[in-house]
């Protein structure tokens, strides 16, 4: 009791002193610097994600001679040897990265049949955050389905998607928040070659821009316009200061720069619509231009992390030819290897077959074996990652989402990122964090 009284007395005196000091400090408009603790993953305040297209790990980080810069980058930071895509063919990967939602029957085909709404009829039995769609169909998620971008906005952090070529041809898509109208055919499925009015051509592809597949983003036009912008028109300017650099920078290069088009050889007829080589060669050129710009930015130098990944691999295994209903049928196995306990989800099944007519006498049978996007690998760069780090821990796009949510401390995890056994990026990668 006495001790308590004495303590109260001490607090009384010290409280007066403290109040006086506070008044003094307020008067001086000065506040003490918080004592920094040891850095943690949450010390990362700016993440730059760059997603490339359709390459196998064994090519990108093995046999290829087209991407020496990229292979060198892998040695500057961490190489994630067991990073997997989560689907085929493109769009479902981007959607899983930014929302945790798995493939639908349409997103696994890049919504070629149209920019159609997902009609929710419930959720996955094992995860109430995963939408079960009507008929397994749909591309654009209803407003209640959030993206990482929405999560960041909710906690007062900033984000932007920077899209290569978006709006080059204003008749094709808008310069900001470019996407087809709901229910219409997506006319950005193939790159547009140069015209008299658009001498650069337009290689933007909606299906590589995850944000426009969510009503939670596109229904607020001003929000979408300010968050989903043209890469060349915006990024360098935004990188000028820490304050103008979004906490999350998501970069989608155009169809050539992300390696989707062209084989990288420069051979006639094997390049991109703008005459560039495409493939890993154009990926390399893109990274050689942008990575130094990002690394020189105040935000990256202060507390940045760069992640370079691929949406999916190009794995395909010819499995012979047969005759189905009188038609020559070439069977192609798609391994769809996955990791990390990836779920198929409620909207598609595996294994599954689809038949694609080529002509009156020929068709392809695509035999989807697994639900994954196969092994692609990823690179991560940061001052908190020691050069030469190699991680053999399996990760996938859901791991990426959960890791970013963990870094930014969002309110919970989205979709299949909310899976307790799903690993987040750890000490195997952040080797300079103690």
Partner 1 sequence: MAGLLLLMMLAACDRAPAPAAGVPRATLAELGKLAFFDPTLSASGRQSCASCHDPAHAYGPPNGLAVQMGGPELKDAGTRAVPSLRYLRRTPIWFKAMQTNLRERLTDADNVPTGGFTWDGRFNTMAEQARAPLLAANEMANASKAEVVRRLAASPNAVRFREALGADIFQRPEAAFAALAEALQRFQLDDPSFQPYDSKFDRVLDGHAQLSAQEARGLKLFSDPDKGNCASCHIAQPGANGAHPLFTDFGFQALGVPRNAEIPANARADYYDLGLCGPTRTDQSTDKAYCGFFKTPSLRNVATRGAFFHNGRFHTLSEALRFYVERDTAPRQWYPHEPFDDLPATLRDNVNRRNAPMTNRGGGRPVWSAADVRDVVAFLGTLSDADAAQVTR
Q: Give the interface with partner 1 as residue ranges (CB under 8 A).
A: 53-55, 88-89, 112, 170-174, 178, 181, 184-185, 187, 189-197, 199-201, 259-264, 266, 269-279, 314, 316, 332, 334, 356-362, 364, 366
| Backbone torsions φ then ψ of 375, nearest 5 degrees | -80, 125
Polymer length in residues for the chain: 434
Tell me the two tokens of residue 101: 């939602």
Measured from the CB of residue 388, what is the shortest distance to partner 1 in angstroms? 29
Q: Are 216 and 131 in contact (CB under 8 A)?
A: no
46 vs 179 by CB, closer to partner 1: 179
Min separation Cβ 365 and partner 1, Å = 11
Task: Decide: 398 and 416 in contact? Cβ < 8 Å.
Answer: yes
Name the minimum Å distance from CB 107 to partner 1.
Answer: 15
Query: Which residues partner with 305 through β-bridges?
Result: 47, 382
The contacts of residue 336 (CB under 8 Å, 6+ apart) are: 87, 88, 350, 368, 369, 370, 371, 372, 373, 374
Kindly state the smallest distance separating residue 27's Cβ from partner 1, in Å.
56
Any idea what the Cα angle at residue 248 is, between residues 244 and 254, rounded to 5°?
A: 95
In whole angstroms, the minimum distance from the beta carbon of 201 to partner 1 comes to 7
Nearer to partner 1, 96 or 192 (CB): 192
Q: How far apart are CA 212 and CA 167, in angstroms?
A: 14
Q: How far is the CB of 180 from partner 1 (least distance, A)?
A: 8
| CA distances to 63, 79, 273, 430 from 302, in Å | 35, 22, 38, 16
Q: Which is nearer to partner 1, 189 or 295 (CB)?
A: 189
- The candidate with the shortest Cα–Cα distance to 127, out of 318, 330, 402, is 402
For the CB of residue 244, give the shortest distance to partner 1 in the complex, in Å.
Answer: 27
By C-beta, is 310 or 413 nearer to partner 1? 310
Q: Which is nearer to partner 1, 6 or 171 (CB)?
A: 171
- Please say which residue, 18 or 316, places its beta carbon nearer to partner 1: 316
- Looking at the Cβ atoms of 365 and 396, the one nearer to partner 1 is 365
Q: Which is nearer to partner 1, 206 or 297 (CB)?
A: 206
Minimum gap (Å) between residue 270 Cβ and partner 1: 5
215-246 CB burial, b ≥16 within 10 A, e <16: bbbbeeeebbeebbbbbeeebeebbeebeebb
The DSSP secondary-structure symbol of 44 reads -
Question: Shortest Cβ distance from residue 403 to partner 1 (Å)?
Answer: 27
Cα–Cα distances in angstroms (integers) from residue 54 to residues 102, 258, 313, in the given order: 18, 9, 5
Nearer to partner 1, 334 or 371 (CB): 334
Least distance to partner 1 from the beta carbon of 251, Å? 19
- Name the token pair of 149: 């971008």
Nearest to 403 by CA among 377, 430, 368: 430
CB atoms < 10 A from the CB of 403, how many?
23
For residue 294, the minimal CB distance to partner 1 (Å) is 22
| Closer to partner 1 by Cβ: residue 276 or 308 | 276
Long-range contact set of residues 275-281: C-beta below 8 Å, sequence gap at least 24: 277/66, 279/66, 280/55, 280/59, 280/60, 280/64, 280/66, 280/67, 280/70, 281/66, 281/67
CA atoms within 13 A on the CB side of 174: 14
> Dihedrals φ, ψ of 143, to 5°?
-60, -25
**Minimum CB separation from partner 1 for residue 255, in Å?**
8
What is the Cα–Cα distance from 189 to 222, expressed in whole angstroms? 25
User: Between residues 76 and 90, which has the closer beta carbon with respect to partner 1?
Assistant: 90
DSSP 82: T
Residue among 12 and 269 whose Cβ is closer to partner 1: 269
């Amino acid at each position: 009791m006495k001790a308590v009284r004495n303590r109260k007395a001490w607090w009384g005196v010290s409280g007066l002193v403290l109040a006086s000091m506070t008044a003094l400090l307020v008067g001086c408009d000065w506040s003490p610097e918080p004592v920094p603790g040891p850095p943690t993953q949450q010390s990362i305040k700016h993440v730059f994600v760059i997603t490339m297209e359709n390459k196998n790990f064994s090519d990108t980080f093995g046999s290829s001679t087209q991407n020496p810069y990229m292979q060198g980058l892998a040695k500057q930071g961490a190489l994630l040897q067991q990073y997997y895509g989560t689907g085929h063919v493109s769009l479902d990967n981007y959607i899983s990265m930014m929302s945790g939602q798995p493939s639908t029957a349409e997103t696994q085909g890049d919504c070629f049949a149209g920019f159609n709404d997902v009609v929710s009829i419930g959720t996955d039995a094992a995860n109430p955050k995963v939408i079960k769609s009507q008929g397994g169909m749909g591309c654009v998620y209803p407003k209640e389905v959030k993206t990482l971008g929405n999560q960041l906005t909710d906690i007062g952090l900033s984000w932007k998607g920077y899209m290569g070529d978006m709006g080059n041809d204003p008749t094709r898509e808008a310069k900001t928040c470019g996407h087809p109208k709901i229910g219409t055919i997506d006319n950005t499925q193939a790159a547009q070659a140069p015209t008299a009015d658009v001498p650069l051509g337009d290689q933007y592809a909606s299906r590589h821009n995850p944000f426009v597949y969510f009503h939670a983003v596109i229904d607020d036009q001003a929000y979408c316009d300010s968050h989903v912008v043209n890469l060349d028109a915006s990024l360098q300017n935004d990188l000028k200061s820490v304050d103008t650099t979004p906490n999350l920078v998501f970069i989608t290069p155009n169809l050539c720069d992300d390696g989707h088009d062209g084989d990288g050889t420069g051979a006639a007829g094997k390049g991109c619509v703008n005459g560039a080589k495409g493939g890993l060669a154009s990926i390399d050129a893109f990274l050689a231009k942008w990575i130094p710009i990002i690394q020189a930015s105040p935000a990256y130098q202060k507390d940045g992390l760069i992640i370079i990944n691929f949406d999916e691999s190009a794995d395909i295994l010819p499995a012979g030819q047969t005759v189905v209903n009188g038609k020559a049928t070439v069977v192609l196995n798609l391994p769809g290897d996955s990791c990390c306990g990836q779920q198929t989800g409620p909207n598609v099944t595996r294994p599954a077959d689809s038949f694609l007519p080529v002509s009156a006498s020929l068709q392809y049978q695509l035999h989807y074996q697994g639900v994954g996007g196969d092994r692609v690998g990823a690179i991560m760069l940061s001052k908190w990652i020691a050069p030469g780090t190699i991680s053999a821990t399996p990760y996938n796009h859901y791991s990426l989402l959960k890791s970013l949510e963990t870094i930014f401390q969002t309110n919970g995890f989205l979709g299949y990122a909310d899976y307790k056994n799903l690993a987040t990026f750890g000490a195997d990668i952040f080797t300079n964090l103690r």
